[in-house]
C-alpha cells in the first residue's frame, strides 16, 4: 500500500535553541542512527514519531505529496527558524523503480541540530526521550568480501556496456558492483559513522534506516529559495606524492573521456531543474574536487526556486541523474537491470532531509552500505561507462570508491 492511501497524523512540533552541542554523533542510537552532517554541522534524529514507506515508480512523488500534507497539518513552534529546525523528515529512496527495498520518510521523535554556531533541539508530539551522550560500544573489524558480482563478472559487464555504447544504443551507463559482510550482534553503528565523518569531512555523512555512508555528491539543496547541486562524474586515483597528485588532477581535468562523462551528468541536472528554478547556471568547465581517496570532476549548479517546489519535489525531478544511471536515462536503467545482477536498494538514490517549509538537503547515496536488520552488510560502488572506457580501469575505480566504507567497517 502506498502512503496516499494511509491517514497522515497531525504532528505537534516544538523547537528550542540550546547551548552549543559539541558533537552530534555520540547522541545517536547505536543500532538505528539517523544522521546527516558535514564538517560537524547538520542534524541527528532519535526515535521515530512517524514512518512512511513508499514503493514503485512514483515513490518520490508520492513521498513529496505526503510530506506537503504532513507539513500542512502540523502545529509547529520554532523560534530558531533555520532550515533544518522545526518539523523535519529524514529520507532514503531506492535507486530503481522495481527495488524490493522500501523507500522511507522518517520523522524522529527528537531532532538535534547545529549550524553556524547555533544549536537546537526539536521534540515531536511532546516526546520526553532523553538527549544524552552514550559511550561507544565495543570495537569490531569486519572485512567485506565479494558479493553478487566478482571482479571478472564486473569487467565482462563493462565490456558489454562499451559494446552497446559503441553500437549507438546509449551514450553512458553507470555500472555498480557489491561487497558483503556481517555485523556482530549489538554492533555500535556510530563507530562506522565516526570513521566516515573524520576521514571524509567534506562529504555528507549520513545514516537513514540502515543506509550509511559519506557522499561527496549533492543531488539538491534548497534553502531560502536558492537551489544548488554539486554534480560529480569523472574520477582519477590520487597520486602517491605531490607531483604525481598534481599530474593526476591535470590528467583528469583534460581527459576527453571524463569530460564527456561529466557533461552528460551536468546536462541531466540542468534539464531536470528547468521549470522549477530560474537563472540556473553551472560553470563552463568543471573543477577538480580533491577527496582523500580520489579526484572527481565537479560542477556546482545554482538557481532560484521559481515554482514553490520542496527539496523533496526537486529530488523527485532529478533522480536518477546521469552520474548514477546514464544517458538516456530510461535506456541506461534498462541496461543496468540487465547487466547488474543485484538490487542497488538505496545506493545511488536520494538520501537526506526535508523540513516543514520545503527546505532540505539531499545527497546521492554513494560510498555507502546497507545494513539489514539481521546484520547483513551490502556495500556498493560503481563507475560511469562511456565509449572509451576500459574494463580494468573501471574495476580499479570501484575499488577506490569502496575504500571509505571498507575502511570504516574494517
Ligand X SMILES: C=C(O[C@@H]1C=C(C(=O)O)C=C[C@H]1O)C(=O)O
Residues facing residue 38 across a β-bridge = 41
Contacts of 218 (CB under 8 A, 6+ apart): 204, 228, 229, 230, 361, 362, 363, 364
Q: At what angle do helices 151-166 and 391-409 cross, to 10 degrees?
A: 140
Query: Using the rule CB under 6 A, which residue among 296, 319, 361, 403 binds ligand X?
Result: 296
Decide if residue 323 touches ligand X (CB under 6 A).
Answer: yes
Question: Using the rule CB under 6 A, is 384 a contact of ligand X?
Answer: yes
Residue 234 binds ligand X, judged by CB under 6 A:
yes
Residue 28 or 165 having the CB closest to ligand X? 165
Is position 401 an interface residue for ligand X (rule: CB under 6 A)? yes
Please tell me whether residue 405 binds ligand X under the rule CB under 6 A. no
Residues 17-56 that bind ligand X (CB under 6 A): none
Q: Which is nearer to ligand X, 113 or 234 (CB)?
A: 234
Does 324 interact with ligand X (rule: CB under 6 A)? yes
- Contacting ligand X (CB under 6 A), which of 217, 313, 340, 370? 217
Q: How far is the CB of 192 from ligand X (least distance, A)?
A: 17
Query: Interface with ligand X by CB under 6 A: which range of 47-55, 95-103, 228-236, 277-285?
Result: 228-236
- What is the smallest separation between the CB atom of 163 and ligand X, expressed in angstroms? 19
Q: Which is nearer to ligand X, 88 or 363 (CB)?
A: 363
Minimal CB distance to ligand X: which residue?
384
Considering CB under 6 A, how many residues would be counted as binding ligand X?
Answer: 17
Please pick, from the candidates 105, 161, 233, 252, the single residue that binds ligand X as defined by CB under 6 A.
233
The Cα–Cα gap between 15 and 13 comes to 7
Question: Which residue among 55, 123, 190, 367 contacts ligand X (CB under 6 A)?
Answer: 367
Shortest CB 235 distance to ligand X, Å: 4
Nearer to ligand X, 105 or 211 (CB): 211
Q: Which residues bind ligand X (CB under 6 A)?
A: 174, 176, 217, 232-235, 296, 323-324, 366-367, 381-384, 401
Amino acid at each position: 500500500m502506498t502512503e496516499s492511501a494511509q491517514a497522515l497524523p497531525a504532528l505537534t512540533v516544538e523547537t528550542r535553541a540550546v547551548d552549543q552541542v559539541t558533537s552530534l554523533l555520540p547522541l545517536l542510537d547505536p543500532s538505528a542512527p539517523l544522521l546527516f552532517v558535514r564538517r560537524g554541522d547538520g542534524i541527528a534524529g532519535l526515535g521515530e514519531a512517524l514512518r512512511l514507506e513508499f514503493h514503485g515508480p512514483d515513490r518520490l512523488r508520492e513521498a513529496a505529496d505526503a510530506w506537503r500534507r504532513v507539513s500542512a497539518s502540523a502545529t509547529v513552534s520554532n523560534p530558531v527558524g533555520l532550515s533544518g529546525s522545526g518539523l523535519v523528515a529524514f529520507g532514503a529512496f531506492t535507486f530503481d523503480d522495481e527495488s524490493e527495498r522500501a523507500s522511507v520518510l522518517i520523522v524522529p521523535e527528537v531532532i538535534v541540530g547545529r549550524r553556524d554556531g547555533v544549536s537546537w533541539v526539536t521534540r515531536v508530539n511532546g516526546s520526553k526521550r532523553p538527549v544524552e551522550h552514550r559511550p561507544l560500544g565495543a570495537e569490531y573489524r569486519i572485512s567485506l568480501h565479494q558479493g553478487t558480482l566478482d571482479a571478472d563478472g564486473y569487467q565482462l559487464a563493462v565490456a558489454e556496456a562499451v559494446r552497446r555504447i559503441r553500437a549507438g544504443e546509449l551514450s553512458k551507463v553507470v555500472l555498480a558492483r557489491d561487497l558483503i559482510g556481517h555485523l556482530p550482534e549489538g554492533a555500535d553503528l556510530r563507530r562506522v559513522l565516526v570513521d566516515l565523518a573524520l576521514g571524509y569531512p567534506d562529504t555528507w555523512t549520513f545514516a537513514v534506516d540502515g543506509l550509511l555512508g559519506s557522499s561527496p555528491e549533492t543531488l539538491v539543496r534548497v534553502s531560502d529559495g536558492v537551489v544548488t547541486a554539486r554534480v560529480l562524474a569523472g574520477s582519477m586515483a590520487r597520486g602517491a606524492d605531490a607531483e604525481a597528485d598534481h599530474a593526476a588532477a591535470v590528467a583528469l581535468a583534460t581527459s576527453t573521456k571524463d569530460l564527456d562523462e561529466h557533461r552528460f551528468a551536468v546536462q541531466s541536472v540542468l534539464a531536470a531543474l528547468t521549470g522549477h528554478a530560474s537563472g540556473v547556471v553551472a560553470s563552463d568547465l568543471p573543477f577538480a574536487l580533491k577527496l582523500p581517496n580520489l579526484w572527481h570532476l565537479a560542477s556546482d549548479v545554482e538557481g532560484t526556486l521559481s515554482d514553490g517546489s520542496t527539496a523533496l519535489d526537486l529530488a523527485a525531478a532529478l533522480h536518477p541523474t546521469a552520474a548514477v544511471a546514464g544517458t538516456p536515462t530510461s535506456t541506461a536503467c534498462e541496461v543496468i537491470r540487465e547487466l547488474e545482477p543485484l538490487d542497488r536498494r538505496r545506493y545511488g538514490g536520494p538520501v537526506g532531509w526535508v523540513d516543514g517549509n520545503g527546505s532540505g538537503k539531499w545527497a546521492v547515496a554513494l560510498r555507502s552500505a546497507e545494513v539489514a536488520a539481521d546484520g547483513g552488510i551490502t556495500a556498493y560502488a560503481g563507475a560511469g561507462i562511456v565509449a572509451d572506457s576500459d574494463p580494468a580501469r573501471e574495476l580499479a575505480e570501484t575499488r577506490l570508491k569502496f575504500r571509505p566504507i571498507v575502511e570504516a567497517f574494517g
